[in-house]
Structure 1
């Protein structure tokens, strides 16, 4: 297979049998490529890195060293799920790094969206490099590169932030999914036995909740974003919308609104709900959520999330609005 062109003869992976054939082929290729050496992987818990991890575990077991960096910007329960699935269920060689304070201290007071992204990306590379240098005899670096990444970014999967490791760390790349589209990656992941809520996870920005805690990030508002997002996801799952809506999330601006709580005036945050459908993310339409469900979600958020007194629903299509708020 070529590095940068998907062969026309390559059959689309549309069912479990084709996925099994792909897995068998890749396991053989990986074992021959890697031999008895070790592989390093930045395991975010997203679809691509999780499927790469599961595939490599099947091929080489604990020769794979997974590094999961918790930067404090993940959704509720995601770090715990990575540990449960990979360390406890799949017996992965998993290094868990609690870098929450480190990231949030670096981000303190920074309101510019692009600067926030750069801080998060650069700090991730530094943390990952530090962990990599603690390990011995690592010869390969695995990445969750998929075919659209090759088309759009010349093979550099920038949102995984591992492309910036220093050149003296002369790792050979391992990219077993590089000729697959996202739907094929999901089929492979499901066939490998990963849980559905990991395999079919909706798109999530590289900087995570850092771009949904709008403006300068504070720990209490970041936690409010995380909790409100968890409520939205739970209710969409209960009401059959999780597989119908392409992307849905909450965001909280760095501003407060007047409200009334327990008969007293309060100044608290407001939560923005966003739910969009799209084919290629170049344009997006708004999902029509039943009013009764919106009302229920609103009541849960204002009653269960500290510091929030108001909820609004973003009805803006793309264009003119982007999918994310910043």
Structure 2
């Protein structure tokens, strides 16, 4: 696991051991963690004088569960997907978070009213709205119209990048097969619907390059290993706007999701963890993060404060997954569906991969 020690002062020739008051914050790495470091970590450390130790992971609750069950919780704050927040709370792996600690909006609107509907849970506080999309290199691929093209190997021959997880893949496969977005989860509730999704994925299975970390899809495109890949929208934006890569997002069939802060049950630094969660999800901090990556803030009051990318010239609003022009065929992640069905579908997905 990648670890980054972010310190408030330079320590020369002195061995440093994490002290009890240091905060370990775990997230997804790459451009996303950088946006959090710039918008949340550095200002919080400057204000409190405490140190944040930043660690990266690839998602899921396996390590949280292992730490909690062993009674040795080393993580303090964790960035998770919505379905994991729901499930982790239901399974007693996460601490409840009193929403009254969250600061009001600048105009006095209470946090509970200011956060986007559905983004505050018993054990979690959302920070961003993001999406799984598909993308391609415009210098090598043209004429892409929608999600059906991702599965059209005759028209667009070449490898495809997919996350090594059934989540989002099943939904996008059904939409590529002609299922309207608003019917996808009703279909996945049936054996026939799940069979149909896997049958659609069968059509490209031999041409898939599997990825696990969010930094991989832009690299796969840059290296020419794939013609198209699913990806987190902010990673493609960062590669295009921040690195000059000729990448383009196609928003058709995007899967909208929240990422949220949670605190593992038994975290050793509860007071600091709660302070960090409240600080990092205030109106200004969420707007600040959006200048580093194209993920939408979870607070309504942050929206008007979102301006330019940190290059000082690229307007961010049109690159947000929640921009009106990008919502034509969007699907909100079925959080409860995945909380209820993740284990069963993981098992089937892994068996499918092995055959």
Indicate whether the TM-score tops 0.5. no
Task: Identify which of structures 1 and 2 has the higher relative contact order when contacts are C-alpha pairs closer than 8 Å and 6+ apart.
Answer: 2
